[in-house]
Structure formats: structure tokens, C-alpha cells
A and B are shown apart, each in its own frame.
Chain A
Amino acid sequence: MAGRLVVDPITRVEGHLRIEAELDADNTITQAYSSGTMVRGIEIILEGRDPREAWAFAQRVCGMCTTAHSFASIRSVEDALRIRIPTAANLIRNLMIAQQYAHDHVMHFYHLHALDWVDIPSALKADPAGTSEIQQSISSWPNSSPAYFAEVQRKVRAIVDGGQPSIFTNGYWGHPGYRLPPEVDLLAVAHYLEALDWQADVTKIHTIFGGKNPHPNFVVGGVPMPIDLDSDTALNAGRLSIISDSIDRITQFVDHVYLPDLLAIAPYYLEYAGIGEGLGNFLTWGEFPGDDIHDTSSFLVPRALILDRDLANITEPDPRDLDRLKEFVTHSWYEYAQGEQAGLHPWAGETAFDYTGPEPPFGQLEVEQKYSWVKAPRWNGVPVEVGPLARVLALYATGNEQTKELVDAVLAKLGAPLTAVFSTLGRTAARAIETKVFADQMRTLYGQLVAAIEAGNTSTFNDERWEPRSWPRSARGFGFMEAPRGALGHWIVIEDGKIANYQMVVPTTWNASPRDQKGQPGAYEASLVGTQLAKPEWPLEILRTVHSFDPCMACAVHMVDTQGEEVGWAASGMHVHLE
């Protein structure tokens, strides 16, 4: 083909994240604004459809969170129709959810967040023997010889010298904020490459339980995979053994690579234990239910609300509370029938687009007006943060022993007080800590599943209310999953067998929320204030904090100085999706 052809497949993004920050004379952020620049609209697509097929659409909202949306969707229908799923089905779902945390968090750390802390080209300057020494001092992972790291270094050099654009050629490389010795950079690069191999093994759990990958099947009332130890097509002894091996691979990588790497990197960035806190308010819907999903006391991760860092007074938020849970659109490109100041519970939620912003591409958001496609959810009028830090705090404060031990051990190793967790570094450490807790939980869940099967509890599907004629004329349901990046909720209203209203409040809606009707900022917006930038045209510090939330969006960081003049643009990616 003659000439240069640019192929630009429409990105998988469901939304882009744009951050605008105002800087003072010292390049310290005085105000930050977070904007989702693409609209979602799934709520409109689902109206009038069969509730049993909602998951198949909902899971397409996002490429990283298909499992989370599928589970939240089928749980919302089960809640509305009072369907209780069999014990084995619940255990299988919990195993899939636990796998999702490990898979997502490891990939987030190595594939996305590590680039904020690891200067990849610097790894080329490392002495492989030094990297080997570090590796052998932090864990018993077998890939630890000088020859192994020399080979990784050779591969990276070949890629860089090859000149093909890749993760090794884009980035703020050489930014003064990068502090790791080259030997630690090389360690992280090696594990970045190993993580790509590792993920092939760990997705087997979803392939088996979901019947297929990359888009596994889900079903209202249970799981689609029957259990029959004598059948070739069901969950049998052979498949159970593959799952068991996969669990081993997950826990080994978390124990010997992910957690040790976090502890090897964190000491060079301890100032981030005092940067990026944000709101100090946290919310979880909870996860890993026992047999009865309505019994929140059976959850491993509690359903919890933490206000003002107060770990001594945790309450349980009720997602059905029409007065306390509300979404506002004062600064969002939607209109409500009741007007600009109104807040609506998701069951009464409205999705009417009202784009009033400037014609893109534009210089600045109109932050005094509407400036985002993300709504502003609030709990009792207060903005909250969701995600790994919220979950770890909920586990810690309610006395989960393993979490307490891990948190205390990490803090001791870093020489930091408990208050250090309210930070960018705390968020990143919490992600690794909960990965360890949930990966270990997989072994427990697997044992429970095997015991259930041995006891003859092999049913995986409850068909009692499958037929719409068995449903009430109208019903409302709440479905949730603590998605890797935070509390996800789906609220469904069913009328005459069809979806009358469907609203999602996704983790990134909470965290990336714009200001509300009272002018209160969302979590990203609050977390960036006070951060000083070394090189505003390379806003690495902003990426570190925003990435620590694991946003489900692509990101363009846009810098504005106090005079309101544009000082620089830096397009920088995050995940390619908004949940």
C-alpha cells in the first residue's frame, strides 16, 4: 500500500477523563476539576428490555470490568425477584470475584501504575547482578539470577533500539520525580513482562466457570456451568484441578512478586504517604456474601461508611435509602425534571443528556457551569471515596485479622504511622494488601466448593422464578459488586416483565465526580489540591495520585496556571474504560 495509512480504531473507551488544575506561583495545585468527556448511555439502551438479558449489555460498558457489571446486573435482578442462588453457585461467583481482584490489581500495578514510579529507560543502566541481589533479598521467586535480569535488559534494549513506539518510548522518562535506583527499575520491568505471562494462566478460572472467554456467560439465578464430576462438559474433577493450579499461580505471584515489589519501591517515595488524601470519607457496598446475600454480616468485606477518617465509628450504608443516596447533576451534562438542585436516588434516576459545554476541542472547561458527563453521587450530602483503600479500612476497622497484620507490617516496614494510609501511597499499598487477602481467600473458597460438591450440593442454578409469569407486576432491585476499583451498584426497576428504569453508579462516578450542588469537590478533585508539580508540562505528580484510584477512563491532563493561560498539554492514558 502506497503512502502512510493511519488506522485509528475507535477506542474501546467508554469515557475519557480530563483533569484541569489551577496552579499558584510555586506550581502548587490550588483547585482541580475532573471531567468525564464521553457519555455512557447504557441506561437508555436497557429500558424496555428483558431483565434477564441486561447483564449481556451491561458487561459491554467496559473492557476491564465486564465481570463486575455482569454480577451487579444479575444480582440486581435476583434482588428484585427475590431469587436465592444455590450454595455452590455463590461459591463459584465468589471465586470469580476474588480472581478478578488479583488479575486486575496486578495488571494495574505493573501495566499502568508502575510507569508512574519506574523509569523504564533507566533500567538499561542497571547492573543485573545488583538487581539479582535485590530480588534474592526480597523473596524466593525463582527468576532471580544475574543472567535472567541481563536477558530482560537485552530484550528491553532491543525493543528501544528497534525504534518501534511502545510503552518504552512514551512517558515522562527522566522526570526528576523518578527516584528508583536503575537496579530496582530493572526489577519492575522484568516483572511487568512476567505479569503478561501470568495473566494467561489466571484467566482460566473465568474461562471454566463462565464457559467461554473473553466474554464469559452469566445467568440470573446462579452460574451457567453445571457441576457433574462424571461429565466432560460440566465442572468435573479435571477442571477443578486446573482451577486449583490457577489459584496456586495467583497466590505465588502475589506473595513472591507483587507485595515484595511494592515494599521495594515504596521506600523511595515515602513523601507520597503525605500527598493525595482527598476526602477522608469512604464507602463500600461489601463483598463475598455467604449463602444469603441479604445478610451483610456474612460478608468478608463489610458494607461500610467511614466519615472524617473516623475508624472507630463505622456505620452500614443502606443502598435502598431513598433520602441518603442521591446523584446530583448541577455540574454534570444532564437535566432533571425537578431542576438543577435536585438529587435523585438511582431507582428514581433520570438519564436526560444536556450538553451545554463548548464545542470541542476547547481550551478550558466551564467549571462554574456544567463540566462533566459524570454525575455527582453523594451519601447523605457528602462526597466519598470508593476502592481498595475504602475496603482495607473497612476490614481493618472491623477487626479482620489478616488485614490488620498486613497493614501493620507494611507500616512498620515503611516506618509510617496509621494516618499515612490516607494518601496516594496508602491507596496503592491498600490495593496490594487486599490482593493478598482475597487471593488467600480463594484457597478457602475452593475448599468450601469441593466440600459442597462432596456433600452433594451440586446445584448451580435456581430456576424457580425464571419465567416472567412468576414475577410480581412491579419490582425494584439493588445489585452490587465491589469492583476492583470500588463500590459498583446497579439499581433496577421492573414493570410488567420489562426494565422500566436502570441506573448504574460505578466506582469512577464516585471518585471522578465533579462538584455537586453545594460546590463540594469529588475525590480526585480533592486529592490533587496542595500537590506541587516539579515540571508542570510533565504533570507526573497528578498522574501518580489519579492513577492510585485506578480510574476506569482514559485521561488527558490539562494544565492551567493562575492567570488562566494554558501552559501545556499532556495526553496520558489510564484505563481505556469508564465502568
Chain B
Amino acid sequence: MSDDGRRVVLCIGNILNRDEGLGVHALALLAPKLAGRSGVELVDGGVRGLDLLPLVESCSHLLVLDAADTGRPPGVVVELARDEIPLFGGVKMSEHQITFQEVLGLASIRGKLPPFLHLLGVQPADVSVGVEMSPVVAAVIPHVCDRALAILAGWDLAPTGPTEG
């Protein structure tokens, strides 16, 4: 992957399960902030699984916004860079369950993991059936957007990525 690949902010999650959809909810707030900016695509990955692979592999820079269960209190924002993201869920996940981590894992074994890869995750409070986020998670969405913009600014300052492994 060279630096002339796509730069994408990929928002994933299921809006039918409240906080599970926070990535997609963040997209709405992030879109106007990126309106004047060229070269960055904002993509609603929603609930898609394996068919996100071509998109992921076409990126030189990829920022993923998603709900992330890191065992922390609800609303805590976690920021992970490329090598800190576990590519498969491990034994807790079922073997062929196509989580987004498996998509990243497949990109990795194919040697096509984006050189710049970041994940912004928020610990969910409520993933029951419903379209409204919990108050605690809704309250951190502006902060998530600010962090996303900071990561995008960091990309501009570092024109060459780490060597693809």
C-alpha cells in the first residue's frame, strides 16, 4: 500500500442497538466538520462485514469509529494505533464470525493492511433494541469527533507511513 491510497474515516456499528451504532451517529456530526476538506472520505460502514474488505485494502489511511468493549466504564474513549488493534477477537469470538477485526485480520494476512490505521472506540452503556444512544455515550460524541479531527491532522503531518509488514 502506498501513500496514494484512499484516506477514509469508516464509521461502523448497528444503529438499531443504541450505543452499538455510535460510529454511525458520530458520522452525522463529523460530516459538516469535514465538508471543506478534500482528500478524506467519510464512509458509513454500518453493519457490513466481509464486504468492507475491498474498502479497507484500498486505504493508505484508515480511521475506524466504533463501539469497543474494553471493559472500562461506559463512555470511555479508547484510541488505538495500528499495531495495538487485535486483528482477531481471539477465543471469545466464534471462529468464523465476521467481526470488523476479522476483516482487518484478512487484510493483514493479505499484506494489505493500511499503513496508517487508527481505531477510536467508545465503551457502550446500552446495546438493547432502540435507535437512541444512552446519555453518557451521546455526551462523548463531540469529543470523539475532536479526536478524529486530531488524528486526521496527524496524518497530514506524517506524509510517509510505517513500512508495510
A12 touches B51 (CB 8 A): no
Which residues of chain A are within 8 angstroms of B124 by Cβ–Cβ distance?
10
A215/B97 contact (C-beta < 8 A), A7-B121, A9-B121 known: no
Chain B minimum-CB-distance residue to A351: B129
Mark A158-182 against chain B: 1 for CB-CB distance below 8 A, else 0: 0100001111001100000000000
The one of B20, B49, B99, B129 in contact with A39, judged by C-beta atoms closer than 8 angstroms, is: B129
Q: Is A418 an interface residue (CB 8 A)?
A: no
Which residues of chain A are within 8 angstroms of B53 by Cβ–Cβ distance?
196, 199-200
Q: Is A402 an interface residue (CB 8 A)?
A: no
Chain B minimum-CB-distance residue to A353: B129
Which residues of chain A are within 8 angstroms of B97 by Cβ–Cβ distance?
11, 13, 554, 573-574, 576
Q: Is A556 an interface residue (CB 8 A)?
A: yes
Which residues of chain B are within 8 angstroms of A155 by Cβ–Cβ distance?
109
Which residues of chain A are within 8 angstroms of B17 by Cβ–Cβ distance?
10
Which residues of chain B are within 8 angstroms of A199 by Cβ–Cβ distance?
50-51, 53-54
Q: Is B55 an interface residue (CB 8 A)?
A: yes
A45/B94 contact (C-beta < 8 A), A164-B87, A199-B51 known: no
Q: Give chain A nearest CB distance to B84 CB in angstroms.
A: 6
Which residues of chain A are within 8 angstroms of B63 by Cβ–Cβ distance?
none
Q: Is B105 an interface residue (CB 8 A)?
A: yes
Q: Give chain A nearest CB distance to B57 CB in angstroms.
A: 8
B78 touches A574 (CB 8 A): no
Q: Give chain B nearest CB distance to A577 CB in angstroms.
A: 7
Q: Is B88 an interface residue (CB 8 A)?
A: yes
The one of B48, B93, B110, B130 in contact with A11, judged by C-beta atoms closer than 8 angstroms, is: B93
Q: Is B140 an interface residue (CB 8 A)?
A: no
Bin the interface of chain B by size: 35 or more
Within 8 A of B (CB), among A82-131: 103, 107, 111-112, 115
A45 touches B96 (CB 8 A): no
Mark A398-412 against chain B: 1 for CB-CB distance below 8 A, else 0: 000000000000000
Mark A58-89 against chain B: 1 for CB-CB distance below 8 A, else 0: 01111110100000000000000000000000
Q: Give chain B nearest CB distance to A350 CB in angstroms.
A: 15
In the docked arrangement, what's the CA distance between A171 and B94, Å? 10
Which residues of chain A are within 8 angstroms of B78 by Cβ–Cβ distance?
5, 7
Within 8 A of A (CB), among B52-105: 52-55, 57, 66-71, 78, 80, 84-101, 105
Which residues of chain A are within 8 angstroms of B151 by Cβ–Cβ distance?
none
Q: Is A203 an interface residue (CB 8 A)?
A: yes
- The tally of residues in A whose CB lies under 8 Å from a CB in B reads 56
In the docked arrangement, what's the CA distance between A42 and B130, Å? 8
**Interface-forming stretch among B28-36, B38-46, B142-150, B153-161?**
B38-46
Within 8 A of B (CB), among A180-223: 193, 196, 199-200, 203, 213-215
Q: Is A41 an interface residue (CB 8 A)?
A: yes
The one of A9, A112, A196, A574 in contact with B106, judged by C-beta atoms closer than 8 angstroms, is: A196
- Beyond the given pairs A1-B80, A164-B105, A166-B109, 18 more chain A to chain B contacts, judged by CB atoms under 8 angstroms and listed by A's residue number, are A7-B101, A8-B69, A9-B101, A45-B16, A57-B16, A63-B46, A63-B47, A165-B87, A165-B88, A166-B105, A203-B51, A203-B54, A213-B55, A571-B95, A573-B96, A575-B98, A576-B97, A576-B99
Residues of A within 8 A of B (CB): 1, 5-14, 39-42, 44-45, 57, 59-64, 66, 103, 107, 111-112, 115, 155, 159, 164-167, 170-171, 193, 196, 199-200, 203, 213-215, 554-556, 571-577
Ordered nearest first, which 9 A-B pairs have the shortest CB separation?
A: A573-B94, A41-B129, A200-B54, A573-B97, A573-B96, A63-B47, A214-B48, A8-B69, A170-B95
